[in-house]
Amino acid sequence: MENRLTVSSSPHIRSNETTKSIMRDVTIALAPAAAFGVYNFGLRALTILVLSILTAIGTEALCQMIRKQPITIYDFSAVVTGLLLGMNLPSTVPYWIPVVGSFFAIAVVKQAFGGLGHNFINPALAARALLVASWPVQMTTWVAVKPDTQTSATVLGILKEGLDVPLPKITDMLMGTIGGCIGETSALLLLLGGLYLIYRGVISIKIPGIYIGTVAVLTLIITGFDVNLTMIHILSGGLILGAFFMATDYASSPITPKGQIIYAVGMGLLTTIIRFYGGYPEGVSYSILLMNVAAPLIDKYSKPRVFGGAK
């Protein structure tokens, strides 16, 4: 035979899913909520998102050049990090905030630890934590969407401070016509994106379902079965965004089936504790980050039992 046959180890067929298709799906899933954020908060929000994404891509390319690694900016993973960070910023932040945040997320949290798949915590969330800790004033100035007020605290802020301000309606929270970060306000669109990811097989319902479920159950108990208040807790503070898009980050979550349950319950527990008993009004970011750090340990102690292995 003239041509050479390929000889390789089985299996000889692979699924169509690639790293790129996964990251592209996440971007698609985030797009409706991000677009709604721009609609809500105006061009300023768009500029912040674009700055955040471009900085992420640029930093990734720069780091890979310095590390003499292949440039992988076309796999959309930097886009996802940039977009997620942008969506987690208030629309009022100065323009250097997304730049600093994205640079930190990619250069320090992701590339310094080995690049894609090696970040031990969620890069976007880590950047957000850095920004909140360093520039708390800029990071917590909210604009209300409804024209009658100029600035307002977030829903959880109102609850925490016991402010005498009417709580928003559940329907407004679902739709997203409330104050908050650019991409966290519309629970409905975020859920839609989450369902898309589940449909595409990118994530399973397990982590977000158990996480949100744990928060719901604990909040019901703590509030003495106040369903309305519980709904407010579920729909606010970026819980939906965090549970579907950040807690499910592959690299920083456990890989074992049992480990993922422990991880999700842990986040639900921490979020509720921080919200009700902690110093911050909001606990999603820190609980995800804390459980991220615990993920390797959880994996170690939740090894699946081999088929036919000893019980």
Partner 1 sequence: MGLLSFKGGIHPPHSKKSTENLAIVDFLGPKVVEIPLRQHIGAPCEATVKKGDEVKVGQLIGAAGGFVSANVHSSVSGTVLDVRKQNTAYGFDTCVVIENDEQYTKHESVTPKPDFKSLSGKEIINIIKEAGIVGMGGAGFPTHVKLSPPPEKPIDTIVLNGAECEPYLTCDHRLMLEESAMIIKGLQILMQALGVKNGVIGIESNKPDAISVMTEAAKNTDIKVVGLKTKYPQGAEKQLIFACTNRAIPSGGLPMDIGVVVNNVATAATIGNLFETGMPLIQRVCTVTGKGIKSPKNIRFRVGTPLKSLIEFCDGYNGTPGKILLGGPMMGVAQFSDELPAMKNTSGILVFSQEQAKLPEASACIKCGKCVTVCPINLEPIQISAYSMLHDYDKAAKFNALDCIECGSCSFICPAKRPLLQTIRVAKREILARRKK
Stretch that binds partner 1, among 96-104, 128-136, 261-269, 302-310 (CB under 8 A): 302-310
Report the nearest approach of partner 1 to the CB of residue 115 (Å).
6
**What residues pair up with 151 in beta bridges, in sequence order?**
143
Applying CB under 8 A, among 12, 43, 68, 164 the residue interacting with partner 1 is 12
Report the nearest approach of partner 1 to the CB of residue 271 (Å).
22
Stretch that binds partner 1, among 85-93, 141-149, 169-177, 248-256 (CB under 8 A): 248-256
Interaction between residue 43 and partner 1 (CB under 8 A): no
Q: Where in 144-203 is the site for partner 1 (CB under 8 A)?
A: none
* Cβ-based neighbour number of residue 268 at 10 Å: 25
Which is nearer to partner 1, 148 or 305 (by Cβ)?
Answer: 305
* Cβ-based neighbour number of residue 279 at 10 Å: 6
Helix axes 187-199, 19-41, angle to 10 degrees: 170
- Supply the DSSP string of 171-227, one letter for each residue: HHHHHT-S-SSTTTS-HHHHHHHHHHHHHTTSS-SHHHHHHHHHHHHHHHHHTTS-H
SS3 of residue 301 by DSSP: coil
Interaction between residue 10 and partner 1 (CB under 8 A): yes
Q: How far apart are the first and last CA of the chain?
A: 54
112 DSSP assignment? G
Burial class (CB in 10 A: 0-12, 13-18, 19+), 157: buried
CA-to-CA distance for 1 and 231, rounded, in angstroms?
69
Applying CB under 8 A, among 144, 229, 256, 290 the residue interacting with partner 1 is 256
Q: Where in 128-147 is the site for partner 1 (CB under 8 A)?
A: none
Q: Where in 59-78 is the site for partner 1 (CB under 8 A)?
A: 72, 75, 77
Q: Provide the token pair at 305.
A: 């039992």
Torsional class of 237: left (φ above 0), alpha (ψ -120 to 50), beta (otherwise): left
Stretch that binds partner 1, among 114-122, 168-176, 191-199, 266-274 (CB under 8 A): 114-122
Interaction between residue 14 and partner 1 (CB under 8 A): yes
Stretch that binds partner 1, among 16-24, 43-51, 142-150, 239-247 (CB under 8 A): 16-24
What angle is formed at CA 92 by the lines to CA 91 and CA 94, rounded to 5 degrees? Answer: 110
Report the nearest approach of partner 1 to the CB of residue 211 (Å).
16
Stretch that binds partner 1, among 18-26, 38-46, 214-222, 266-274 (CB under 8 A): 18-26
Per-residue x/- track, 83-112, partner 1 (CB under 8 A) = ------------------------------
Applying CB under 8 A, among 95, 257, 293, 297 the residue interacting with partner 1 is 257
Residues that bind partner 1 (CB under 8 A): 1, 3, 5-15, 17-19, 21-22, 72, 75, 77, 115-118, 204, 250-251, 253-257, 260, 303-310
